[in-house]
Chain A
Amino acid sequence: MSKRNRVDPPNRPLKGKQKDIPLDDLLKQTFKDDLPPDVEGSMKKQLNEMRMKMEQVTQEKSRTDHKGFHTLAQFRGIQWGQFFLKKEVLIAASLLMIVLGGFLQSSGFSNSLKKNLSILGTSVAVSSQINQAQSMVCSIQMSEETENPLRYSIEWLSPNLSKIKVSDDDHKPLKTIWIAEEEIVIADHIKNTLHTEKHPPQLMDPLIQPIIGYLSPAELKEEMFGVWQLKNYEQRDECQWGTFTVSLPEENAILEVTVDLCTYLPINIKKIHPTKERVGGELIMNVQYSWNGPISEEILSPKISDAHKDA
């Protein structure tokens, strides 16, 4: 073992036989408890005084610190901060957050994204159901305040066959139009004529123009996909129906589409022109739908074949 690794006594080097004395004996020898009683008493007294002074200083420091702490942390902000940073409090808070989040989610908490998803989901369901419709009867009433306060009755049986009856406000028939494949047959009740025309890309008759988009489920679906801008959705569970609102920016109008939530088919569409004069806007058009019901036997009356003959 090298000299450097030996334990040397703190004050004086070891000499001669003392090298072999164990460390405990050496310490006992060095710090002998043989002081005279008066010296010992005096030392005890001095040590007690010193301890008391030290305690006083510590207490004073603690008081000052506490006071400063309170001054710094007005309203006990820091104490609260320390309280909230405790591990137990944080764990409790985190668990509470998870439980509260789960509760809010299960209790139907709503925000804009959820509303938008609801209206989009409803629109998708409606367009899907419209696509599968077997038949459709629709009555359209234009407002009395519009230029042509007409009434329309549309009967749709298949993609190739629709019948549109146009009548005036007093239910007096004006025109009956059959749309079959690439031809249209028009019965003019006023002029008492019947003639056939090639189906133009769009029906150009000004009488038909206001109801373009409602003539068949396919057109309604097309409008829903490309023209209607979804705006709002309101569902009333107790009534089993919901209403979603769409805007038509080109016409500066709003559509309120009421949907039967049992079938996801539209039962009513109201076209509203927003005006400052009237609260809720001015009703331009009211559309009532009946889906998958029996079609009247008169849909082909007079027979198209007869119409061809007359024309």
Chain B
Amino acid sequence: MKKANHPKKGEIAMTNSMDSKKILSVIGKIFILCSIVLAVGLSSKFTNLLNGPGFVFVFLGGTALALMSFSKKEIGMAFKNASGQKGTAEEQQKSSYFWETAARNFWMMGVLGSVISFVIALGNSEGGMFGIASRMSASYLSAVYGMALAVICIVPALKITGSLNTQLKEGIQRVIESPEDKAISNLKLENIIGYVLYIAILGWAIFAPLSGKAFEGPLNPLELFLYWPSLLVVLGGTIAIVLFVGKAISGQAFTLGFALTGVFAIHMGFIQAMMGFSSKSIQEVASAITFILSSCFVALLGMMLVGNSLLDQSVKADGVQKPQALSRIAWFVFPLMTLILLFLTFVMVVTPIKKA
């Protein structure tokens, strides 16, 4: 039997010193990147690209989603692994998954922020039609922030996956978790904090901008965001898909269910919009756009609050390295589709309907 190689005191000190240097190096890189971004943003040409509340929404929302799915220990380990410190194969798997989900969360939060800003722009008449149009254009900034943060997060995910693959090639086997670890863990304090923070940031984003600036007196923001037809279609469709697919607890069925019914509802809305344009009915087009926007909002929210959270827990609990490809497609393609739809919606809103 081989003797265990215990590191000596000097070696431990050296390793710690190297870790600190790596962490400092990562912090330094982030600082330089932030300085460049800030400088570009503050230069007169790009002032229009700055939207403080939008960035805060995306950043805090993404952080809250990470807290909802991961424990403090796992997050700490993910940061350590990202700074170059090597852990066990299992730790690296989890860290890689953490960074991938962080990218997903920021991307989805960015698009959700854009949808919320877009709807709020339609609910605030300050500055007349010009004001509404400029706020609608500015609503896309949240998606830009989400995309930028997602790109930052995907880098450590790729780096850790690369390192893990090298280790596996070298013959280091994955560590199988103990049965205790496999069971889906109960909610931890940080998970609860994540849920509370997420709901708080969502409430702030929806309620704060609409107080007293609405079309007709103070408007009930919930009435602006909750459109019963789309809510019923998206929720009903999701429940049906979950029941047919089964394994609701795994979260994958919910993620796919929300994404697929969202796509279905969007297509329904588009058909109605096209019919509205052909019959030159503004009411019909307005109804269709409302249906599309509300469906995107409900589907994205459902994916984030229910689907992704359950999926993350089950992926960690089952020891499965990665979720299925369909879930990944839903994570990244559905928000992209929503963003494209927002552009099309903007075009539909500003396109005049002419009668003979």
Show the binding face of A for B, using Cβ within 8 Å.
87, 90-91, 93-98, 100-102, 104-105, 108-125, 127-129, 224-232, 235, 247, 261-264
Contact = CB atoms under 8 A, between A and B. Distances in A.
Nearest to A230: B125
Contact of A125 (B237, B293, B354): B354
B75 to A, nearest CB: 35
Contacts of A112: 123, 214-215, 219-220, 223-224
B143 to A, nearest CB: 20
Interface in B116-146: 119, 122-123, 125-130, 132
A262 B355 contact: yes
B353 interface: yes
Contact of B290 (A90, A117, A227, A247): A117
A109 B232 CA distance: 13
Nearest to A122: B282
Nearest to B227: A111
Contacts of A247: 125
A113 B229 contact: no
Given A93-B239, A225-B128, A116 B233 contact: no
B349 A124 contact: yes
Is chain B's binding surface mostly helix, strand, loop or mixed?
A: helix
Contacts of B187: none
Nearest to B295: A101
A87 B245 CA distance: 12
B293 A121 contact: no
Contact of A114 (B232, B268, B286, B355): B286
A94 B237 contact: yes
B216 interface: yes
B40 to A, nearest CB: 30
Contacts of A120: 122, 129, 132, 349
Contacts of A97: 232-233, 235-236, 239
Interface of B: 119, 122-123, 125-130, 132, 214-216, 219-220, 223-233, 235-240, 243, 268, 272, 282-283, 285-287, 289-291, 293-294, 349-356
B129 A117 contact: no
A109 B240 CA distance: 24
B346 to A, nearest CB: 11
Given A101-B232, A104-B228, A117-B122, A124 B128 contact: no
Given A120-B129, A124-B129, A113 B282 contact: no
Given A94-B243, A101-B231, A105-B272, A263 B352 contact: no
B287 A108 contact: yes
B129 A123 contact: yes
A100 B232 contact: yes
A85 to B, nearest CB: 11
A229 B132 CA distance: 10
A3 to B, nearest CB: 30
Contact of B223 (A100, A111, A235): A111
Given A98-B240, A104-B229, A113 B129 contact: no
Given A112-B224, A226-B128, A105 B239 contact: no
**Residue from A96, A98, A261 having most chain B Cβ neighbours under 10 A:** A98
Contacts of B237: 94, 98
B123 A225 contact: no
Contacts of A128: 352, 354
User: Which 10 residue pairs are nearest across A and B when measured between Cβ atoms?
Assistant: A97-B236, A101-B232, A128-B352, A101-B233, A117-B286, A105-B229, A94-B239, A94-B240, A98-B236, A121-B282
Contacts of B227: 109, 111, 113-114
Contact of B215 (A109, A116, A122, A227): A116
Nearest to B291: A105
Contacts of B355: 261-264
Given A225-B128, A225-B130, A261-B355, A101 B282 contact: no
B233 A113 contact: no
A104 B230 CA distance: 9
Contacts of A123: 129
A111 B219 CA distance: 11
A113 B236 contact: no
A109 B290 CA distance: 10
7 contacts: A97-B235, A109-B228, A111-B290, A113-B227, A124-B350, A128-B354, A230-B215
A161 B287 CA distance: 41
Given A111-B226, A125-B353, A116 B232 contact: no
B266 to A, nearest CB: 13
Contact of B123 (A116, A118, A263): A116
A65 B232 CA distance: 38
Given A100-B236, A101-B233, A124-B349, 13 more contacts: A90-B239, A94-B238, A95-B236, A98-B232, A101-B228, A102-B268, A113-B225, A113-B227, A116-B215, A118-B286, A121-B282, A121-B353, A124-B351
Contacts of A225: 128-130
Nearest to A100: B232
B156 to A, nearest CB: 39
Contacts of B232: 97-98, 100-101, 104
B76 to A, nearest CB: 39
B290 A96 contact: no
**Residue from A111, A224, A230 having most chain B Cβ neighbours under 10 A:** A111
B176 to A, nearest CB: 28
A17 B20 CA distance: 78
A304 B226 CA distance: 60
Nearest to A108: B287
Nearest to B241: A94
Given A111-B224, A113-B123, A117-B286, A102 B129 contact: no
Contacts of B230: 101, 105
A124 B352 contact: yes
Contact of B352 (A102, A125, A227, A232): A125
